[in-house]
Amino acid sequence: MKTLYTAILVLCLMAGNTLLEAQVAINTDGSSANPSAMLDIKSDTAGILIPRMTSAQRDAINNPAQGLMVFVIDDSTFYFYKKTGWLELSTGENGWIVSGDTVYSITSRIGIGTSSPGARLDVAGHIWITNTGHSVFIGKDAGKNDVWGYTNYNTIIGEEAGYSNIQGMGNVAVGFYSLRSNMSDMNTALGGLTLHDNNYGVGNTATGYQALTKNTQGIYNTANGFNALIANTTGNCNVAIGALALAKNTERSFLVAVGDSALYHNGEYTTLNYQAAYNTALGHKALFANNKGYRNTAVGYKTLSSNTVGFDNTALGYAPLSLITTGFSNIAIGPQSLYNGYLVHDNIAIGDSVLFYNNGNNVWQAMSGKYNTAIGSKAALNNLGGFLNTVVGYKAFYKNIYGNNNTSLGAYSLSGNTYIV
């Protein structure tokens, strides 16, 4: 009997060793384990459960083995242990997360054509963007509503740039919200909020923050500079170059403003169609205050800068006609010529400081300071209210104040005259 017990024990030990060394298959069809697996579980009606616990319980596991896996119920996520700590199973060691049809990373970089990317996305080579109607869209919601089935040839770069465009063609928008409302063709917007409200305006060019931002239907406008033509809505064929040039213009057309704040107030308070039209201003604050004045030409620093409603004036040089407000039909060429002529009209002043003090501020004489022609440096410089005078020469008629109907020819001619009629 003792021999029998010994034989049975040996057989059990042998069988035990065999089970410990063999592969294990768990299934309902009696199939063998896959040769590459120590444990092969097969089922089409049930799954496998691994230990479930809180994150605190997971972190309390003593000396976890590499590859140990648990399911954390706090965030319903699988974790596995790596020597650096616990990692989400969907993240892995490279920091990439898989969520539905989305793969993302919070910290990683992508290199295409390079093994050492210097940014979140580093592409060494060309980038092709296809099947977009020959258009390019870069930025959050850039060109969001563009119909890809159309050949639009648009280049849209920036957050919500070209957002509303559907079939508009040949547009370029670079900057956040640039051309956001656009529905039309051949506009160029470079800078944040440039041409933001444009919907049916065509052929406009805006460069600089908020340039032409309010334009809706105006066509063929050019605005270059901070807030240039910012308020324009339906004005056409305007040119504004310089910060705040034509900043207040809304509906007036065929204007040219080149220089900081040139024609800044043009178009304010207008009630008649011809007001604030056909003005040209070149220079710092040239025609700055002009709101209703029309057909004025100002070239130079602060030329006609105070004019509000005056019309048909021409000023060329440093600050000529600088203080005129309502005068009209004056020509001033030369530094500070007709400088103080704020009420005068029909004067011609050519030369340095010519008719400098002429202003027509003589309530007793309706023609005060009007219809004068003076040519020559400082000619008729002190004339205040004299009228119908013609003087030619250096300092000719220099001291005249209220004299009128005089003719003076030559340097210093009638230079001491003050009231002679």
pLDDT the model gives residue 16: 46
Tell me the per-residue pLDDT of 246-264, one tens digit each, with 9 for 90 and over: 999 999 999 999 999 999 9
Distance CA 71, CA 115 (A): 35
Tell me the per-residue pLDDT of 20-38, one tens digit each, with 9 for 90 and over: 456 898 998 989 989 999 8
Cβ atoms within 10 Å, residue 166 = 13
Distance CA 237, CA 51 (A): 74
Tell me the per-residue pLDDT of 283-332, one tens digit each, with 9 for 90 and over: 999 999 999 999 999 999 999 999 999 999 999 999 999 999 999 999 99
- Short-list 266, 263, 294, CA closest to 281: 263
Question: What is the arithmetic mean of pLDDT over 96-117?
Answer: 81
Give me the residue spans of the domains in the chain: 24-104, 136-236
pLDDT the model gives residue 19: 45
Distance CA 141, CA 116 (A): 30
Q: Is residue 179 within 8 Å of residue 164, measured between CB atoms?
A: no
Cβ atoms within 10 Å, residue 400 = 30
The model's confidence at residue 8, banded by pLDDT at 50, 70 and 90, is very low
Pull the structure tokens for residue 20: 């410990």
Examine the pLDDT at 17 and tell me if it is beyond 50: no
pLDDT the model gives residue 362: 63
Examine the pLDDT at 367 and tell me if it is beyond 60: yes
Tell me the per-residue pLDDT of 372-399, one tens digit each, with 9 for 90 and over: 999 999 999 999 889 999 999 999 999 9
Question: What is the arithmetic mean of pLDDT over 192-202?
Answer: 97
Residue 146: burial class (beta carbons within 10 Å; 0-12, 13-18, 19+): buried
User: Is the CA virtual torsion 81, 86, 89, 94 positive or negative?
Assistant: negative
Distance CA 254, CA 240 (A): 11
The model's confidence at residue 213, banded by pLDDT at 50, 70 and 90, is very high
* Secondary structure (DSSP) of 143-204: TTT--TTS----EEESTTTTTT-SS--S-EEESTTTTTT--SSS-EEESTTTTTT-SS--S-
User: Is the CA virtual torsion 145, 147, 152, 158 positive or negative?
Assistant: positive
The model's confidence at residue 95, banded by pLDDT at 50, 70 and 90, is low
pLDDT the model gives residue 23: 86
pLDDT the model gives residue 1: 46
Residue that wins the pLDDT comparison between 105 and 48: 48
Which region among 127-136, 179-188, 330-339, 359-368 has the lowest average model confidence (pLDDT)?
A: 359-368
Cα dihedral 272→274→280→283 (10° resolution)? -20
